[in-house]
Amino acid sequence: MMLNKLTEIVMKKYLFFLVLFLNFVSSYAQDKDTLKLIFIGDIMQHGPQITSAWNGESYDYSDNFQYLLPLFNYADFVIGNLETTFNGAPYTGYPAFSAPDDFAKALKDASIDILVTANNHSFDKGVSGVVRTIKVLDSLYINHTGTFKNFEDFKKNHPLIIQKGNIRLALLNYTYGTNVGISKSSVLINIIDTNEIKDDILLAKSYNPDGIIIFFHWGEEYKRLPNSFQTDVANFCFRNGANYLIGSHPHVIQPMVKNILDSSNNVESVVYYSLGNFISNQRGINTDGGAIAYLEFTKNQNKLDINRAGYLLSWTWKKFVNDKYVYINVPSWEFNKIDPNSTDQKAMKTFLDSSRNFLNKYNVGINEYYFDKNKNKLFPLDTKSFDDK
């Protein structure tokens, strides 16, 4: 009897400490949550892109993003700037964009999770363009923010909350303006206004996020350095509680900066002033490619840290096949997919060299990364051996 009683006591103590240990492991695992975000620049649909996608029966964009799928699947969320509408036929490119719905499906198939829709082309097709674009994205379960069908839609879906495990971020999106005036319109498009942004940051804070991301459509087209408006707005956002800023619109890559906002608490900020073109028909110098922003966060004991802040480069290959062009986004690590010694490969090399020289000169704390699809990992480009450090 005594032995059985002793055994029972020992077992109870064992179970007690086992439960404590499992709770500790569970708590530790939760505290070490990681979130991997990718941001891409201007997603364009110029007339030649629409024409090239037509296969006689439908619009086929399956080649566009084939080389990026492993990277996009590696991330928890991929967020891009949709610089077209889905207003239905007739389909049009510049200056008033309306792309086939098949293009939206291609974005979904490419594992693009979130689209920001506030840009200068948001109102190209008027109210119907804004509303139908939202409906198309909703039908494909692509999250979005920046434009809204009405005020009720705005109140319900603004800000957009991104969450994985214990990590929770708020996403806001604004444009400097639209090409067509929107006064007295029933739809809402977020316009850059510091008073509105300040209020929205306060609203976002009420959701208790670990950080606030703002995706801006701003700057001067084809200018490689940010203007005073961009830097002033960025500093305003940081002063008022935003943490991470992403930019689009110039169609060229602009500098990327990581700073310490609060040294005592090690609070960091990042701004990517412009990611350039993700995919487009533009072939001018520095417009035929773009940067892919990568932010990796780790949350430990309720504090969110930037584990990695980097970028990857990609180029739009306008490949001539079977008497027509095909548009393919080629990331830097797939450079050899392009015919060696061809004018296309030389053009990509020119873009990569120009971008690297520029960013090495102007970037602060944000370096280039390389994706190893075989190991399914990201590594710094300058790492001689792509093994974990």
Q: pLDDT-derived band of residue 322, with 50, 70 and 90 as boundaries?
A: confident
Report how far apart the first and last C-alpha atoms of the chain are (Å, whole number).
Answer: 57
Q: In this predicted model, what pLDDT tens digit does every residue of 273-314 receive, in sequence order?
A: 999 999 999 999 999 999 999 999 999 888 899 999 999 999
More confident site: 54 or 11: 54
More confident site: 194 or 382: 194
Q: In this predicted model, what pLDDT tens digit does every residue of 145-171 receive, in sequence order?
A: 999 999 999 999 999 999 999 999 999
Cα–Cα distance list, 156 to 18, 113, 178, 215 (Å)? 44, 19, 23, 19
Per-residue pLDDT, averaged over 354-382, amounts to 95
Cα–Cα distance list, 152 to 143, 156, 157, 330 (Å)? 17, 6, 9, 40
For the entire predicted model, the pTM comes to: 0.90
- pLDDT for the residue 18: 44
- pLDDT for the residue 20: 43
- pLDDT for the residue 16: 44
Q: Look up residue 191 and give its two tokens.
A: 């316009």
- pLDDT for the residue 368: 97
Residue 262 pLDDT greater than 90, yes or no? no
Q: In this predicted model, what pLDDT tens digit does every residue of 113-138 receive, in sequence order?
A: 999 999 999 999 999 999 999 999 99
Q: In this predicted model, what pLDDT tens digit does every residue of 21-68 receive, in sequence order?
A: 444 444 444 447 999 999 999 999 999 999 999 999 999 999 999 999
Q: In this predicted model, what pLDDT tens digit does every residue of 185-217 receive, in sequence order?
A: 899 999 999 999 999 999 999 999 999 999 999
Q: Are 281 and 48 in contact (CB under 8 A)?
A: yes
More confident site: 11 or 95: 95
Q: Quote the CA–CA distance of 125 and 147 in Å, as a whole number.
A: 13
The percent of residues in the chain predicted with pLDDT above 90, rounded, is 83
Peptide bond between residue 95 and the one before it cis (omega within 30 degrees of 0):
yes
Q: Quote the CA–CA distance of 151 and 41 in Å, as a whole number.
A: 27
Q: Quote the CA–CA distance of 103 and 307 in Å, as a whole number.
A: 33
- pLDDT for the residue 152: 95
- pLDDT for the residue 40: 98
Map out the domains of the chain with their CATH numbers.
35-380 (3.60.21.10)
Q: Quote the CA–CA distance of 347 and 350 in Å, as a whole number.
A: 5
Average pLDDT for the chain: 91
